[in-house]
Each structure stands twice: as C-alpha cells, then as structure tokens.
Amino acid sequence: MASAQQEPIPSVAELEGLTTTTPPHRNIFQRLRSMFGEEFAEFWGTFMIVFFGAAAECQAGLYRGAGDWLTRILGWAVGVSLGIYLAAPISGGHVNPTVTISMSVLRGFPASKAARYVLAQILGAFLATLVVYLNYRGAITAFEGSGARTVIGPHSTAGRFFTIPHPKVGLFTAYVNEFVATAALVALFLAFTDERNVATSIPFAFFILILGIGASYGIQTGFAINPALTLLGYGKAVWTHDKGYWLWVPWLSVVPGGIVGGLLYDLWVYNGQASIFSHGSSRAIAL
C-alpha cells in the first residue's frame, strides 16, 4: 500500500497571508483626517474659543441686562476649556498661535507643523467670528444705529470680536499688559501639560486660568492673549486704529510674551527632558 503523501508545512508568510485582510475603502473624510487630522483639531478647537467667547461678548454688550464683565470672561473661559477638550487628544490642544510658536522655539515642535497649526487656528477663529457675527447681525445694526460698522467710538461693536484697548490705556501699557498675561498663559500651559502633573484636568485648569487672566488683566486690552482672534472684516480701521494696535499688541507683544513665559518656566521650574535647556537632552544648549 502506497504511503500517503505528506502535505508541505506552510511558511510563516503564507500563514500571515491567510489572516491578512484588505483594508476597507476609506472615504474622503477619513483620508483628509489621516493627512490633516491635527490641523483640523486645531481649527475646530480655536473655533470653539471664539464661538463661545465672542458670542458672550455680543450677548452681554448688545442686550441690556444680559450680562456684565464676568459674563464675558466666563464665555471665553468656557470656549478655551471646550476647545482644548476637543483638540487635545489629536493635536495637543494648542488652539493659540502663541502657544504653538512657543512650543516650536522652546520644545522642538517642528516649524513646518507649527506653520500649519497657526494657519488652522487663524482660519478657525475667522469662521467662528463669521458665525457669531451673522447670528448677532441684527443686534449689532440696532446697537450701532446704522448699517456701518465702527471700530472706535461709543457704539463700536468691533471689540466684541477682537482686541480693542480701553480708551484710557496707552499703547505701551497695553503692550506690557498683554506681554505679562501671555507669559503667564504659556508658562502655565507648560505646567499643565507636564507629563508628571497627572492630577491636572487640563481643560478645567485652563478654565480657571482664563478666568484669572480676564479678571486681573482683561479690562485694559480685552485680554487678547491669542492673536488668532484679531481678524475680521470691519474695514481698514481694523488695521489702522491706535497706531497699528492689531500688530503691536496681539502679535508683537503676545508672541514674545509667550516665549518669555515659557523660557522662564523651562529655566527655573521644569526639570524634564523635553526642553531645549534640559540637561542630557540631545538638543540641550550649554549656558
């Protein structure tokens, strides 16, 4: 009787091939998220800041008895907190160009990615501004008294959407105000996101932080602390009022202030390995 022929033992590659399945077809949204998921997270996280913050400004400022300064601060604090809740799992929850630029300078965050983040943040803020503006357009027209939109004056509504200095505050005071407030913001961002700070609920911590900044430093400048909030089509006066305030304070004060705040934190508090100043880091700088 002939012996039965022994079947060859399958190779590892053949066994793996038996369990390999063809990946499912991905729709356009899945493909876009795989390519730009972090940027979309920054876009929508920043959108949430303005969506709640600017709306609180409009509601409190345009309707008698609808709110006061605390109402406005709460709106911004809620917006920042929810924006970070939304974005943090995907992108780290910067939702602020100053934070992104500071992370690029101090923590080695890639410059190319930082540029995409900043663009996404600005676009998200702009879209949210448009949504809030359209929602409150009738109230804005009634408050201003005409179809015109003004940046400065007793019936101006521009300050509902971007930073405008108090009439009694000079440019130097506004510059310093935003510089120190944003320094605190970035320093505390680094503290909140320290991997060893496990007890911190980061979105709630930011809620408290924005309440504190608004209550302490908000009235003089509208506490910009986020240059992504400065763009809206209120005419050329947006760019020319108060000697180019939009550039000097929301950008040239806020961004250096954030970097200095992060620098002080990394030099005097942080002892991990992520900073460019950390001992043992491949990117450490000899002082």
pLDDT of residue 73: 96
Instruction: Name, in order, each residue with C-beta under 8 angstroms of 222's C-beta and a sequence gap of 6 or more.
Output: 159, 162, 163, 164, 165
pLDDT of residue 281: 46
Predicted pLDDT of residue 105: 96
- pLDDT over 60 at 268, yes or no: yes
Q: Which residue has the higher pLDDT, 118 or 279?
A: 118
Q: What confidence category does residue 1 fall into, taking pLDDT thresholds of 50, 70 and 90?
A: very low
Least confident of 111-120, 127-136, 179-188, 216-225: 216-225
Q: How far is CA 47 from CA 51, 53, 84, 159, 177, in A?
A: 6, 10, 11, 18, 25
Looking at residue 25, what is its pLDDT? 66
Which CATH number describes the domain made up of 37-149+159-268?
1.20.1080.10
CB-based contact 284:276 (threshold 8 Å): yes
> What tokens does 85 get?
């809740």
For 49-102, the pLDDT digits (tens) are 999 999 999 999 999 989 999 999 999 999 999 999 999 999 999 999 999 999
Domain ranges in the chain are 37-149+159-268
Residue 112 scores a pLDDT above 90: yes
Kindly state the average pLDDT of the residues 102-112: 95
pLDDT at 93: 96
Mean local confidence (pLDDT), 134-140: 93
Q: Which two tokens stand for residue 228?
A: 């992504």
Average pLDDT, the chain: 86
Query: pTM, whole model, 2 decimals?
Result: 0.85
* Measured distance CA(59)–CA(139) in Å, rounded: 9
